[in-house]
Structure 1
Amino acid sequence: MGDNHPSVSVIGLGLMGQALAAAFLRAGHATTVWNRSADKARGLVADGAVLAATPGDAVAASDLVVVCVSTYDVVHDVIGTLGDALHGKTLVNLTSGSSAQARRTAEWAKRNGAAYLDGAIMITPPGIGAETSVLFYAGDRAVFDAHEPVLKLLGGGTTHLGTDHGKPALFDVSLLGLMWGALNSFLHGVAIVETGGVKAREFLPWAHMWLDAIKIFTADYAAQIDAGDGKFPAHDATLETHLGALKHLVEESEALGVDTELPKYSEALMERVIAQGHAGNSYASVVQAYRRPAR
């Protein structure tokens, strides 16, 4: 359909794959789709997509091939035997997996003559196409630049992380861990205030205020960690002070009959780092407990 609207093939039509293909269709790109269960393509075909009979046909239809399936093993099951058919194509793999899997798949693509970008989608399917939606990519910068206008159709926060194909997976799991940690702490807090007759919606604006304050702490801690000198100056509070306050949370939870596993984990973590000599340092020193031992 011309340089401004290159054709795109989408392999994998789960909820996310369907959303990806729909975004390309809305923007006027000729879109070929394939899925093991062809019935999942019905709505897309009604909107103008072409259903390929085989993965090979889908790859042949477009120079840009976007893959979004359940696992990396499925990626290789579906297109791993196409060989020369991949030569000259650009594969954009948006399948969730590990950094090691991403790097191995990049090597496999290179052996088969395909350009390769690995990516991570940091939004649910309804958010695909939104200006605020973030998708991470890694691989050759020239390959990313060549396809950035099309990839930006999936989210305005399209971001290239560099040439290490494993980086999107690292960002993906780290940000999800941050999400779950914050959500678990919010829900634990809700369980505590509920014992005083407080509704979750009454607690919510104060939780939001506190999360904004935490952003300030993390900015200071990130700078301390990146300094690499191991000093972790306590500009706000020492780790020993944090531990004292944390013990109140454990005690209050126990007294109220609220589960204590989450605060006790934090308590044990702080005690371990303090035992290593960081009592007077900032909370950033806890990063020491998470890092793998030096080789």
Structure 2
Amino acid sequence: MVPVDVVGSAEALVFHSGDRAAFEAHESTLKALGAPATFRGEDHGLAAAYDMAMLDFFYGAMGGLVHAFALARAEGIDGASIAPYLNTIAGILPPIAAYTATGVDTRSYGGEGEGANLAMMAAGVDHILHTAKDRGLDVSQLAALKGITDRAVAEGHGPGSWTGIIEVIAVGH
């Protein structure tokens, strides 16, 4: 879960799964790759599942980040000027991740009366999509997001929080 130069450091995040006894017998060696050595469970596929979910978030976020820079550039704003403000947004993500995890786990999507419901945010995505399209940018990532938010609103999740889109994304699960 880290660049090669971080492997072996305390910042390295390495997921392990499989036989717990084997993990425990070799934990000190595994910590040499990255401490803590993070055991996720005995199902052999869990480490890969964590990896895929984490990379899903990373690549989606990186796509959004680069698209934001492209939109800024199209408006005549240089990257160095907007980067500190993008870092401000990135800084609010940790508590949002915790809040979203609770909503996902409990299937309680709140939002009502909180001032930031899904319907409002879907309108915001639509506004960004049209702005980007007007500037000649590729909007495929935004269009996909808009499609998901529109379906979630149509299915009745509009008054709830952004988290309600999971019910559209996780069809059949």
Counterpart residue number, 2:67 = 188
TM-score under structure 1 normalisation? Answer: 0.55
**8 Å CA contact retained: 1:137, 1:159:** yes
Counterpart residue number, 2:137 = 258
Please give the residue correspondences for 1:87-106 in structure 2 after superposition, counting only pairs within 5 Å: none
1:178 aligns with 2:36: no
| Corresponding letter in the other structure for 1:232 | Y
Residue 245 of structure 1: SS of its match in structure 2? helix
1:221 aligns with 2:107: no
1:124 aligns with 2:3: yes
Alpha-carbon RMSD across the aligned residues, in angstroms, is 1.4
| Corresponding letter in the other structure for 2:110 | P
Alpha-carbon distance, 1:236 to partner = 5.1
- Aligned residue pairs, count: 171
Change in CA separation of 1:127 and 1:184 when aligned onto 2, cut-off 3 Å: same
Counterpart residue number, 2:168 = 289
Structure 2: runs of 5+ lacking an equivalent = none
Question: 1:7-32 CA deviation, whole Å, 9 max, x = no partner?
Answer: xxxxxxxxxxxxxxxxxxxxxxxxxx
Counterpart residue number, 2:13 = 134
Cα distance in structure 1, aligned partners of 2:55 and 2:65: 15
Counterpart residue number, 1:241 = 120
Residue 31 of structure 2: SS of its match in structure 1? helix
Alpha-carbon distance, 1:270 to partner = 0.5
1:268 aligns with 2:147: yes
Q: Greater strand share, 1 or 2? A: 1
**8 Å CA contact retained: 1:134, 1:157:** yes
Q: Greater helix share, 1 or 2? A: 2
1:164 aligns with 2:43: yes
Residue 233 of structure 1: SS of its match in structure 2? coil
Alpha-carbon distance, 1:135 to partner = 0.7
Counterpart residue number, 1:205 = 84
Q: 2:109 aligns with which of 211, 217, 232?
A: 232
Cα distance in structure 2, aligned partners of 1:272 and 1:292: 12
Alpha-carbon distance, 1:269 to partner = 0.6
**8 Å CA contact retained: 1:137, 1:161:** yes
Counterpart residue number, 1:150 = 29
Alpha-carbon distance, 1:200 to partner = 1.5
Alpha-carbon distance, 1:124 to partner = 2.8
Cα distance in structure 2, aligned partners of 1:174 and 1:200: 28
Alpha-carbon distance, 1:162 to partner = 1.1
Alpha-carbon distance, 1:252 to partner = 0.8
| Corresponding letter in the other structure for 2:105 | D
**8 Å CA contact retained: 1:239, 1:280:** yes
Change in CA separation of 1:148 and 1:206 when aligned onto 2, cut-off 3 Å: same
Alpha-carbon distance, 1:130 to partner = 1.0
Cα distance in structure 1, aligned partners of 2:77 and 2:169: 35
**8 Å CA contact retained: 1:221, 1:284:** yes
Residue 136 of structure 1: SS of its match in structure 2? strand
- Runs of 4+ residues deviating >6 angstroms: none
Which of the two has higher C-alpha Rg? 1
Cα distance in structure 2, aligned partners of 1:257 and 1:187: 15
Question: 1:105-137 CA deviation, whole Å, 9 max, x = no partner?
Answer: xxxxxxxxxxxxxxxxx1232222111101111
